[in-house]
Structure 1
Amino acid sequence: MVEGPPIFVPYALQAAYAEHLARQLGERHVGPNIVSQYGYKGLGLYARYVLGAPRLDIAFARGIRALPYLQSGASVNLHDAGDCIILQFGSGIHSIVGAGHIDEGTSILLIDLVRHFLGKEWNPEWVELSGKRFTGDEMLEDLLGAPVRYGKPLLGIAILKDQLQTHNPRPEKAPRTVLFKDLRKMINHGPPRTMVGLVREALLQSVMEGNPCEDAVTAWLGLGKRTLQRQLAVEGNTFRKVFADFRIERAKAMLAETNQSARSIAASLGYHEVNSFRRAFSRSVGCTPAEYSALCRAQPPDVSVVRVFRTSQAVS
């Protein structure tokens, strides 16, 4: 399990495993010691979606929105603490022995997430944990890079409000952008039941590889072009139409969720000229990519969470 690809294990099982290790090794802080070895990027596609956000506050919003894909029963809260916002996390297993290891390990993940935007030298103002302080817990504060406040109901890390609008210094390039709907790959789902569904899966794969075209799709499916067209015709469709619909849908999602330019989006979706993309988008959607992007900025998809940040800033 450790050597294979990332998988998501229920927190109760993680807690039991960490508690067993802690007792065998005589090490109270197993969680952060393990998690610090792989960091936030170890969460795979989920991490790519969150770390691809244009700003830190949007990254928090993405993480909250997609959390059900990661673990059931977990929760995230935002608490106003004057000059700071406390990002709180609840695993939902506080009554289980070993839950403290999960909280301590998750604090490392949250800090690593923020450091992607604010730099490796950033440390939280403080960290909140449940439970009591024990002799030797200074080592935990060294791992976290911040003082720890114990006896709190939830794990939390404190971030200055004026840091929330920090832009992403390392945004993903358009072909590698992970969108919200891409996260369905993180949960068990059956294969597509139609040829159109298979083609759309192949198109997504080809976009991620930077080569969206019919040749890439037929190679991925192991079919000849004529066979592909015949099977699509049985469903009353053509590759040209499926490809056109796929490109417009993905362009709309990228304009809504990212800061990618029309030129970058066009290139990632296989358009040879940006003007060809603009014309196709306008015919299908009824407005230009720039107009659609402006509309999405006025009412971003993560508005419910972003509003919390903005309200907190206004109150302070």
Structure 2
Amino acid sequence: MTSPSVVDRALRSAGVSRKVLREVSGFMPYAIEAIVLEKVARAVGDRHLGARLGHAFDYSAYGPYADYVLGAPTLVSALFRSQQALPLLHPGSSIQTSAQDGKILISFCSSLSSVVGHRHLDEGAILVVCHAIRHFLGDDWAPEWIELTGAPHARLHDMETLIGAPIRTGADMSALALRMEDLMRPNPQPVVGGARLLIDDLPALMGLSPLRSVADTVDNFLRLQLIAGDTSEDGVARMLSVGPRTLQRALRAEGTSFREVKARFNEERARKYLSDSDLSIDQIAGLLGYEEPNSFRRAFRNWTGQSPGAYRDAGKKVPALGPGVARAQ
């Protein structure tokens, strides 16, 4: 929808690079996504970039999550499934339902109302929900109305044309309105295998490890920050859109600290680098944020009882062959 250079500038403004996106698997903080979208939207002059992205989104890209939702027997059960499984896609976000004017209002809450650019994500999410509903109600279905945050503006008519429904502004959250009688609409074409999926199956099928604690979240963002070259406490706090003291308090409540989480992370990465790469010990020390290689060597010996060199050499030893196995001459 725009040039790579515009996107690159937006990524840099959020402290992220394409290298991070290519090389690391994990959760990208919603706040970072919001900043990127806001920068791109301003560059191209599109007030509703998020909604356009949501409208163009291919729901099947969610893989097993989409199969799980679209394998439900009815629309109401599909909405329930999407509510329950959403944390696997967007930790901290929620889909909420309420009754209004005789209709069901389906709202998306990202908990990011204080972050510039959050409306792009919120509007986009509601348009993605529309894709799931159309699986049950047909491609010609349109919401009774759409609710958006913010005030009316001159280009609102363009959005109404895109969505095919009237828009109400000034809402607390982005939302869509659905007729109550449509909730029990049966699935006209259940996704093959979707009916057999359970929510407990999804993390493994999606290749995800759900973030169950602040310590898990810090570990995830350390992986992102390692590529960016900043694994400091301040750097991780920025990725989480909180201050260092707030992060410290949250970790303390779980009985740990940033130093302990980072030490576990560094030990895991150091073991893998020594076993699976040809990086020198000095290079590994630098990657993990040690200014002095000797500091890394002391830390590694405390973790494992071995020096990094001895650990690497032990991993390269040829295992003893079992009985009856002839050595190649």
TM-score (norm 2): 0.53
Partner of 1:183: 202
Supply the distance in 1 between the matched residues of 2:159 and 2:22 (Cα, whole angstroms).
27
Q: Secondary structure at the match of 1:79?
A: strand
Partner of 2:176: 157
Partner of 2:118: 99
Partner of 1:52: 71
Unaligned ranges ≥5, structure 1: 190-316
Q: Secondary structure at the match of 2:68?
A: helix
Supply the distance in 1 between the matched residues of 2:184 and 2:124 (Cα, whole angstroms).
26
Give 1:119-158 correspondences, 5 Å limit: 119-158=138-177
Alignment-mate amino acid for residue 171 of structure 2: K
Partner of 1:68: 87
Q: Is the 8 A contact 1:129 1:156 kept in 2?
A: yes
Supply the distance in 2 between the matched residues of 1:174 and 1:14 (Cα, whole angstroms).
32
Mean Cα deviation higher: 52-61 or 4-13:
4-13
Q: What do residues 162-181 of structure 1 show as CA deviations (whole Å, max 9, x unaligned)?
A: 00000111112348843211
Alignment-mate amino acid for residue 79 of structure 2: F
Q: 1:3 deviation in Å?
A: 8.8
Supply the distance in 1 between the matched residues of 2:125 and 2:63 (Cα, whole angstroms).
15
Give 1:187-266 correspondences, 5 Å limit: 187-188=208-209
Q: Secondary structure at the match of 2:142?
A: coil
Q: Which runs of 4+ in 1 moved over 4 A?
A: 1-8
Q: Secondary structure at the match of 1:36?
A: helix
Supply the distance in 2 between the matched residues of 1:154 and 1:135 (Cα, whole angstroms).
21
Supply the distance in 2 between the matched residues of 1:78 and 1:175 (Cα, whole angstroms).
24
CA RMSD for the aligned pairs? 2.5
Q: Percent same amino acid at aligned positions?
A: 37
Equivalent of residue 20 in structure 1, options 39, 46, 63: 39
Q: What do residues 56-80 of structure 1 show as CA deviations (whole Å, max 9, x unaligned)?
A: 0000100111122121211222111
**Pair 10,126 (structure 1): closer, same or farther in 2 beyond 3 Å:** same
Q: Is the 8 A contact 1:132 1:151 kept in 2?
A: yes
Mean Cα deviation higher: 166-175 or 44-53:
166-175
**Pair 137,20 (structure 1): closer, same or farther in 2 beyond 3 Å:** same
**Pair 176,152 (structure 1): closer, same or farther in 2 beyond 3 Å:** closer
Supply the distance in 2 between the matched residues of 1:118 and 1:175 (Cα, whole angstroms).
18
Supply the distance in 2 between the matched residues of 1:137 and 1:87 (Cα, whole angstroms).
21
Partner of 1:200: none
Q: What do residues 34-70 of structure 1 show as CA deviations (whole Å, max 9, x unaligned)?
A: 2223232222221211111110000010011112212
TM-score (norm 1): 0.55
Unaligned ranges ≥5, structure 2: 1-17, 211-329
Supply the distance in 1 between the matched residues of 2:200 and 2:114 (Cα, whole angstroms).
33
**Pair 181,50 (structure 1): closer, same or farther in 2 beyond 3 Å:** same
Higher alpha-carbon Rg? 2
Supply the distance in 2 between the matched residues of 1:143 and 1:6 (Cα, whole angstroms).
33
Supply the distance in 2 between the matched residues of 1:36 and 1:4 (Cα, whole angstroms).
28
How many residues align? The count is: 190
